[in-house]
Amino acid sequence: MLIFAGLGNPGGAYAGNRHNLGFMAVDAIAREWRFDRERAKFSSLVREGTIAGEKVLTLKPQTFYNESGRAVGDAMAFFKLTPAEVVVFYDEIDLAPGRFRMKIGGGAAGNNGIRSLTARIGPDFRRARLGTGHPGHKERVMGHVLSDFHKSEIDWVAALTRAVAEAAPLLVAGEDERYQAEVMRLAPAEKLDPRARNGEEA
């Protein structure tokens, strides 16, 4: 069994926020693979289904973004899972809009949701990082992530969430690098991260 956890904030007021891109991604997966109806469990909204013969639980913590670790930790403990069996989908300001990267472990890079998860379950969970771009100045980050996507961004958001859903069998198989490549093949995005001008890697 696997847990696909999306990060976001509960309630309609936040539904279109960049910070809720993780929720959007796991919702797309549940729709694509016809998971069962959403219900409340583990301080989250959850759906269960099967992808490529593997049971998967999608989980959207209702604890608010910065306390996501509690909900994911409770679900992990109930099913006796390891961090390797948890994939966390979340918005990543250090990737250009529409870019996608998989990684295992690492630091929180200022993301309080990831910090909460690391404190509760350790750092070695699988991370599906969905690029939303950086506003350019540190003091503008909070307003950026808590603002809605612009109408001009809706197409790439839809394409990216659809791609992460369609390629999910590779994720279930543990082929994270192939999954990353397939998502970007299905939803190609602008290749230049703003920091690339300085020779830095996203």
pLDDT digits 0-9 by tens, 51-60:
999 999 999 9
Number of domains composing the chain: 1
What gap in Å lies between CA 74 and CA 61, rounded to an integer? Answer: 11
The whole-number pLDDT of residue 137 equals 87
Paired tokens of 82: 């390891």
Give the pLDDT confidence score for residue 190 in this predicted structure.
Answer: 66
Q: Supply the pLDDT for residue 167.
A: 98
- CATH code of 159's domain: 3.40.50.1470
Q: Rounded CA gap, 185 and 122, in Å? A: 31
pTM assigned to the model: 0.92
**Taking a C-beta distance cutoff of 8 angstroms, is the pair 29, 46 a contact?**
no
Positions of the chain with pLDDT lower than 50, given as ranges: 192-202
Q: Domain range for residue 187? A: 2-198
Pairing status of strand 126-131 against strand 100-104: antiparallel
Phi then psi for 199, rounded to 5 degrees?
A: 80, 15
pLDDT at 191: 52
Task: Report pLDDT for 189.
Answer: 79
Give the pLDDT confidence score for residue 199 in this predicted structure.
34
Order of strands across the sheet with 86-92? 39-41, 44-51, 54-61, 2-6, 86-92, 126-131, 100-104
pLDDT recorded at residue 138: 87
Distance CA 126, CA 123 (A): 9
The answer to whether residue 150 is catalytic is: no
Helix/strand/coil (H/E/C) assignment for every residue in 104-160: ECCCCCCCHHHHHHHHHHCCCCEEEEEECCCCCCHHHHHHHHCCECCHHHHHHHHHH
- Give the length of the chain: 202
